[in-house]
């Protein structure tokens, strides 16, 4: 079974065909999808998805949306985590250094969320863009005991090792399918078997050959194929290792209705394309 460890299935991009998207995921061997929250006003639609057995959810405040967050949102997040015991992680939170004008506020918000996760013994799902070293340093200082996921990792083998020493695994998605991502591909080859999960970041982070298209969870099978090639391992081994790590990280001990579908390597019967 494959697990898409990071997919924004709540986004309006999927409103017209969400069930068809999940059907294609099932055909591709995807047994579970983890959906992160990004803004307080949309937590409700994320939580609604948690009623399905094949989806798990996280709640957090994403650094991309700093203009939409309010001072009261951290307190609201704490209350929401206390009310909804089924939330599997705090996220998506983090730092996006592309936005220098909000960077100071991003750090304050990130610190507050790390402390919340530490208090509630929840793993973190961290968005980290152009800030791997700085985020690793802050995590060493704040020392969240349950670790988490560095989503959409795009760093070096050394940075991946630094996160691993802090109890974090890295998320591998569409970026690994691009041949120009040499540094990331070297990191993927060097990771331990329990050091990564697979993800799509749907509807974003398109794979090579799919530029301009909406991404979707079925394509995690293609990510798995590329990761397997880079690591010199069978597709089935990478599928099993990554899913075991996602299960351990998020506590996904319940089997969803997709769980009977075996992972199928692209080119051997999988369907991951977007319908015309």
Cβ atoms of 160 and 190 within 8 Å: the answer is: yes
pLDDT in the model for residue 272: 31
Q: What are phi and psi of 226, to 5 degrees?
A: -65, -45
Structure tokens at 264: 């199928």
Encode pLDDT of 222-232 as tens digits. Answer: 999 999 999 99
Pairwise CA distance, residues 118 & 258, whole Å: 32
pLDDT in the model for residue 266: 59
Q: Mean pLDDT in the chain? A: 92
- What's the average model confidence in pLDDT over 95-107? 98
Please determine, for residue 260, whether its predicted confidence score (pLDDT) is greater than 70.
no
Domains and CATH numbers, the chain: 2-32+47-250 (3.20.20.140)
pLDDT in the model for residue 131: 98
Radius of gyration of the chain (CA): 17
Please determine, for residue 175, whether its predicted confidence score (pLDDT) is greater than 50.
yes
Pairwise CA distance, residues 17 & 37, whole Å: 20
Cβ atoms of 25 and 273 within 8 Å: the answer is: no
């Amino acid at each position: 079974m494959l697990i898409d460890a990071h997919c924004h299935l709540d986004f309006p991009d999927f409103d017209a065909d969400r069930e068809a998207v999940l059907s294609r995921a099932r055909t591709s061997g995807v047994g579970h999808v983890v959906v992160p929250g990004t803004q307080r006003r949309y937590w409700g639609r994320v939580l609604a998805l948690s009623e399905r057995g094949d989806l798990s959810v996280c709640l957090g405040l994403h650094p991309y949306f700093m203009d939409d967050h309010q001072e009261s949102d951290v307190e609201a997040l704490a209350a929401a985590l206390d009310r909804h015991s089924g939330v599997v992680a705090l996220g998506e939170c983090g730092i996006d250094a592309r936005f220098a004008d909000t960077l100071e506020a991003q750090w304050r918000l990130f610190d507050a969320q790390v402390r919340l996760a530490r208090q509630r013994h929840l793993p973190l799902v961290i968005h980290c863009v152009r800030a791997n070293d700085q985020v690793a340093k802050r995590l060493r200082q704040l020392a969240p005991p349950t670790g988490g996921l560095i989503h959409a990792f795009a760093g070096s083998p050394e940075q991946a090792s630094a996160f691993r020493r802090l109890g974090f695994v890295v998320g591998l998605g569409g970026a690994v399918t691009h041949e120009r991502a040499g540094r990331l591909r070297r990191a993927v080859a060097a990771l331990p078997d329990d050091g990564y999960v697979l993800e799509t970041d749907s509807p974003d982070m398109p794979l090579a050959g799919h530029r301009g298209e909406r991404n979707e969870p079925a394509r995690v099978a293609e990510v798995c194929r590329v990761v397997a090639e880079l690591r010199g391992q069978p597709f089935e081994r990478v599928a099993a290792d990554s899913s075991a790590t996602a299960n351990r990280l998020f506590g996904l001990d319940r089997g969803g209705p997709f769980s009977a579908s075996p992972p199928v390597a692209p080119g051997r019967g999988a369907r991951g394309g977007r319908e015309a």
